[in-house]
Amino acid sequence: MLTLHPGNKTYDCMSKVDVVLGLQWGDEGKGKVVDVLTPGYKVIARFQGGPNAGHSLKFGDEGFVLHTVPSGIFREGSVNIIGNGVVIDPVILMDEIKDIEAKAGDISDKLVIAKRAQLILPSHRMLDAASEAAKGKAKIGSTLKGIGPAYMDKTGRNGLRVGDILSPDFKDKYEALKAKHCGMLSLYPDFTFDITEYEQKWFAAVENLKRFRFIENEVVVNQYLKEDVKILAEGAQGSLLDIDFGTYPFVTSSNTMAAGVCTGLGIAPSKVGKVIGIFKAYCTRVGSGPFPTELFDETGERLRQIGHEFGATTGRPRRCGWLDMVALKYAVMMNGVTELIMMKSDVLDDFDTVKVAVSYKQDGKQIDWFPYDGAESVEPVYKEFKGWKTSLCDIRDYASLPQAFKDYVAYIEKETGVPVKIISVGPDREAVIFK
């Protein structure tokens, strides 16, 4: 068992934290990739987001969707950290833990939680719902898990943290924050709510959470680095949903990019190692906001059906479209991506042609950057590739892949300047090709 309380030591770390993150609008397949890569790491850590995430894992006949728990949880001997940058709904977390433990047994020695992580209160969920309802057509399309209001309270310096659970006046702090929220909710006279039942579950879940270790994750993570323990940070959402650089305001409320690892785990920028950027061979988005390559036709519907593009958290149909090289290059640049992983390549198996947006047209001019207004007003300019018309599902070595597919990969590598190291050809953890 690794030490969790390293004591008074210096922090001249030897190793670095590698990062897996999504380069599009989320749902790229981060859960699967983390599960695949976990044997090479001892520690897996979530650094931002919360139960808005839905990370699917598949092994054989079994499937799991994780929301707050890191995707290393099913690997023997792993340590899974819910970092300080995460927002936690105890009800959702404890439900998730119950499901995991039904399969994997007691995980209390494998899961630790940052004392500095923020709590999502039942009233945060109500604020999310009221705010979205009031926005009407301009709604963000939030997962309604209370993410935005919880991060507002964090930056507004009002939030409750996991460490507060152990404080004798926790209930008083809760009531004070809830009272503030109720005041805010009175600004939405049409919005009625009753949180009594959820509140009871919430307090029961808070009580149950106490069987997990609450840690100063910044100290623990830096000590692990010093001991040369391998750490993988697991991003949630995607780069184009980043609060600063995504398609604002149609974004989530955290820094989903590589920079978020530093503040979300407590490591210095110099301690970030590999940045593993993952993307689908096409694009999807769930919720509102700009999506330049979105297809409203039968091709979009085909992508949705073949790719089973329905939200892992909300079940909502995902919007589908072609790969957007302009957006991908932007995400690669902003994250400093060192290697790429291409997901869901098999979904394109039957297409005669595959398209990629190589630039945009805006006001009659051709541009090759991702504009400030989130590409709302642009029209994509496409390059066409010959489809490979071969099933990739059972291929496990790069050499056996069809040439047309290799050409597609080579083009992406050339344009981004980053090698594609893994190609995913199915949901199962075995369905990967290492290049």
d(CA 26, CA 358): 21
* Residue 73 C-beta-side C-alpha neighbours within 13 Å: 31
**Closest separation between CB of residue 342 and ligand GDP, Å?**
8
Contact between 120 and ligand IMO by CB under 6 A: the answer reads no
Residues 5-44 that bind ligand GDP (CB under 6 A): 22, 26-32
Q: Give me 139's structure tokens.
A: 């709604």
**Closest separation between CB of residue 211 and Mg ion, Å?**
28
**Of 343, 357, 358, 401, which lies in the binding site for ligand GDP, with binding defined by CB under 6 A?**
343
**Closest separation between CB of residue 195 and ligand IMO, Å?**
18
Contact between 27 and Mg ion by CB under 5 A: the answer reads yes
**Of 6, 141, 336, 371, which lies in the binding site for ligand IMO, with binding defined by CB under 6 A?**
141
11-22 as b/e, with b when 16 or more CB fall inside 10 Å? eebeeebbbbbb
Contact between 239 and ligand IMO by CB under 6 A: the answer reads no
**Of 54, 83, 146, 287, which lies in the binding site for Mg ion, with binding defined by CB under 5 A?**
54
**Closest separation between CB of residue 173 and ligand IMO, Å?**
24
Contact between 264 and ligand IMO by CB under 6 A: the answer reads no
**Closest separation between CB of residue 172 and ligand GDP, Å?**
37
133 phi, psi to nearest 5 deg: -60, -40
d(CA 82, CA 264): 10
| Of 50, 52, 96, 95, nearest in space to 73 by CA | 96
Cβ atoms 405, 345 nearer than 8 A: yes
**Closest separation between CB of residue 131 and ligand IMO, Å?**
10
Residues 296-355 that bind ligand IMO (CB under 6 A): 312
Q: Which stretch binds ligand IMO (CB under 6 A): 141-149, 262-270, 322-330, 426-434?
A: 141-149
First vs last C-alpha separation in the chain = 34
| Of 157, 82, 70, 60, nearest in space to 429 by CA | 60
For ligand IMO, the closer of residues 373 and 384 by Cβ is 373
Integer-rounded Cα radius of gyration of the chain: 22
Residues 47-66 that bind ligand IMO (CB under 6 A): 52-55
Judged by CB under 6 A, how many residues of this single chain contact ligand IMO?
Answer: 23
For ligand GDP, the closer of residues 222 and 313 by Cβ is 313
**Of 78, 123, 247, 252, which lies in the binding site for ligand IMO, with binding defined by CB under 6 A?**
252
Q: What would you measure as the largest C-alpha separation in the chain, in angstroms?
A: 65
Helix axis angle for 403-416 and 325-335, nearest 10°, is 50
**Of 48, 78, 131, 424, which lies in the binding site for ligand GDP, with binding defined by CB under 6 A?**
424
d(CA 46, CA 68): 8
Q: Give me 223's structure tokens.
A: 């000590």
Contact between 312 and Mg ion by CB under 5 A: the answer reads yes
**Closest separation between CB of residue 385 and ligand IMO, Å?**
26
Contact between 242 and ligand GDP by CB under 6 A: the answer reads no
Q: Is 27 a catalytic residue?
A: yes
Contacts with ligand IMO, 191-230, as mask; x by CB under 6 A: ----------------------------------------
Q: Which stretch binds ligand IMO (CB under 6 A): 117-125, 143-151, 340-348, 367-375?
A: 143-151
Q: Which stretch binds ligand IMO (CB under 6 A): 134-142, 327-335, 397-405, 407-415?
A: 134-142
Q: Give me 10's structure tokens.
A: 């210096």
Q: Is 5 a catalytic residue?
A: no
Q: Which positions lie near ligand IMO, rule CB under 6 A?
A: 22, 25-27, 52-55, 140-143, 145, 147-148, 236-238, 241, 252, 286-287, 312
Residues noted as catalytic: 27, 55
